[in-house]
Structure 1
Amino acid sequence: MRSSVRPLFLALTLLVGCNGNRDQLLAEIQDPRPEIRAAAVKKLAAQNNADDLVLFTRAAKDLSAIVRGEAAGALGESQDPRVVDLLGELLEDADESVQGKAALALAKVKSDKAKAYLTLQYGRRGRATRQIIVQALKSANVPGAMATVVAAESKGLWERNLLALTEGALPERVGAAEELGKSGRPEAINRLLPMVRDSQVILAAAAVRGLGDAGDPRAVAPIALLLDESFPELRESAISALMKLQDPTSATRLQAVAVEKSAVSPLATDAILTFQRTPATDAALCAIALDGARAEAEEAGRAMRSRGGCPADPIADRLSRPASAASGLQAVVGLGPTAKALLPKVTPWLNQPDVALRTLAVEAVTSMGDASVAPALQKLYEQEVAGLATLRADWVPTALPLKYSAELDPAAPRTTSKKEDSKAGKHAQLFDRLQALNVARAKGAGRAVVPPRVPSELSDDVDPSKLEPLARLLTGLGAVKAPGALEVLKGYTNDASPVLRAAALVGLAYVGPEGVEITRTALLEPDRELQKTLALALAEQGESGQVALVAALPKMGSEKLVVLDALTRAGPPPASTSEMLQVVVKEGGAEAALAAILLGRMGAKDAVPTLLKSLDDSNSVARRDVLLALGAIGDAKSAEKVGRDLYHDLPEIRAAAATALRKMNTGAEAEPLDALKGDYFREVRNAVGATSTKDDKVAGGAR
């Protein structure tokens, strides 16, 4: 009797205890604190009581994300087909953690409807959720899980864009034309080609842009014909598309646009600069160096420096005649040291009475950097200073007064108005500066240095164009390292004329460490145009200038972009700059993108931890450049973290991740790489198709 009573007593005790615990959980699920409610949902789910499904359904609508996340998990544990639609809603939750838990919960239900929700939402969610969806489908034993969702996303995008192109309003058709082109599908190209002649220019331009992204060489010829159109938007789109299509056969047509000196000429020059080097592209750039507008001519000439320069005979022919000398000189300015053979043809123009030609000749010999012209530049400098002396320094031929007049003496008692007092105060300040100028003149008598700074109130009346010849000479003296150039240029660093001051600071960048330091210090001034000019000058000085630029970064504030942009135009900075560039990456923003590019070019392995850490910021604007930098550095340990971005919702990020993994060549992430060969975007497919992994070399080559 006793033996049967004892087990019954224990069972009743446990039942009472469980019920007590359950009552407590039922109370806690209504607690005002979300963490308590979430914990209660989790504990109730562990009890696996079918009657609690209604509680979990209610918790799925909770205002707190942590409660909704636990509710999603609880609904999944129930494996009840009735919860699939609710979990589908949670898969679209505003909180990414809730989305992930809903995805895993749907996988536990294991119904076709649940898989359909997962497949549909893959193309609509962010990176973290997309990755979890693939994991969920794998756990549900879906074969080729990622390839399945990638194909579904691709199909959905194609159908939506095709529908918009055929049935949408004009703005929708414009967007659809561009998006269809990005797919690179043959059908997209067949639909877009006839549209380049559409009567609605905005739609034709969109079709042209789409064909540029499509990358099909069939589009080159019809797009090149559009360069003859009169509509600026259509011409711009055509140039942009030809740049993307990268077909050097269009270089001649682009050259014609580049030398017409129109609003789109710079775009045409930029397009040719991106083309693979061929005799046609070299010829086009040399033609632009001669006949393009000044900015495009200099850019084309600079590009030809690394290619050995341009043929000398056509330039020499231009230099032999006054009517065409200007074009020959501007070509030499761009070509720089590669045109030294033309120095005998250039130097005679230093003695020409025509100010414009003489100034252009000074720029030409400056770009060559040949020290043999130093005496000629010094002579011209002395002549120019003498010619400007009357305008800039001897504006009062008589001696300056040494005492205040009664009406201007600041110490004299006044009964005037505040306005008159203010005016008199300004006059007194100017008088003090003139007195200082008198003293400086006396001390500087007989010295071969720059006159003291003239008050800007009196020197600003000089037309800046009259100062340009002197400005070009100042830069030239520094570039050829003329004797005494350092002292002369230092004398102009406080000049009232921005033109002369900027030219002197640029010249100082060429004359050694002291000059570089003065130029670097001037970078901290607020004049953005001056900053750009000086940054580019320092970047051209090689290691010393680049180190100085990077050293200026901590004090540049929001102007770091100026320095970083200049550095990207030069060769890779020295390894010693890595630490400071990493600081910029850590600070984030647009500057981090340029800093990452530079670290990638440097192959800075010490920067890998910093670059990987920056990937933790899901909102980083530098993400693409950081991924490419990691690929350029080629650190195999980065592959796992880089591989996560193969699931990113932005195609340019997926492409960057695939490109980086290709360069690492570790064989990592082979499955998602293979799945992305079905991606909607041609950019991604190209990046993945080029990936050569250890496990996929044979298969990749067979495709």
Structure 2
Amino acid sequence: MNKSKPKHSAHGLVLGIFLPWIVWWGMAEIPNLVWAGEETSVEAVRKAFEQGQYPKVIELAEPLLKKGNASAPQVQQWYVLALAHTSKTSEALDAYERLVQDNGREDEVLLKQMAIASILPLRADMREQMRGAAYTALREMEAIEAMPYLEEGLGDQSGMIRALVTEGMGHVAAGRQSKRFRDALKDGAALVRANVLEGMAESGDKKMIPIITPFLTDDQLIVQISAAKALLGLGQSQYWERLERGVRSEDGYERGASIRALGDLGDPRAVAILEQTIKDSQPSIRAAAVSALGKLQTPSALKAVKGAMFDHIPAVR
């Protein structure tokens, strides 16, 4: 019986000396293991986001955000955008507000990205009016970030959608420089071609003149007017007569397009021409004339506009 005691004592001694050290080293490694696990989880969220797997991003990010780990700001951003991409706009806004509270400041870049992400799913809607609303919203942003998504709209089956897209792209340098934007000069829809021509003129690049000039003889009058307007905007004053002729045209579309072009160009010479159209028999022409005169911002233009304040058509007033 006595002989076994040393054995047990030695065993206890070993455990007593080494066990605390084993436990200590094990505990010391736990934070590293936890951090490695966290890092792996964050990496998984990143990969899912980059691959466009937005439902998976939401699934992976929520547990991390509840923990409030060190990578939370980055994960929060992916989470906000993933919610927006999956049409959960209300939840995305709530998540964004929490991020702002945590950071103590607004994130304008993220807010813009979130707005774009919320719009994108609507581009695939079967209803033309919903796609139109989506592209109109992207167009109104006039942001470089929206250009790749607008460019995709050039392939939409609806001419109205393509016209919205080209109008938006024409107002932004990155849009005007797009090859697909310039290729839209071959589009079958007249309004699309017209918008591209006017967009080219906004660049102020006189190298566009030989590209625009052939469209003065386009088979659609609205395209001819846009070509003349674009060339005038690039300093080719000889095409003023084309717009004057358009204002006198019997075709309502040509008259309206010519009147709007004169207003957009902002040349005071247009006042005398537009004064003749403010009493046109067509309400749409009178409304276009009033709008064009308002853009000229001269005393004589204002006097002409005042004369239309009592027009019997509400749209004109």
TM > 0.5 fold call: no
Structure of larger gyration radius: 1
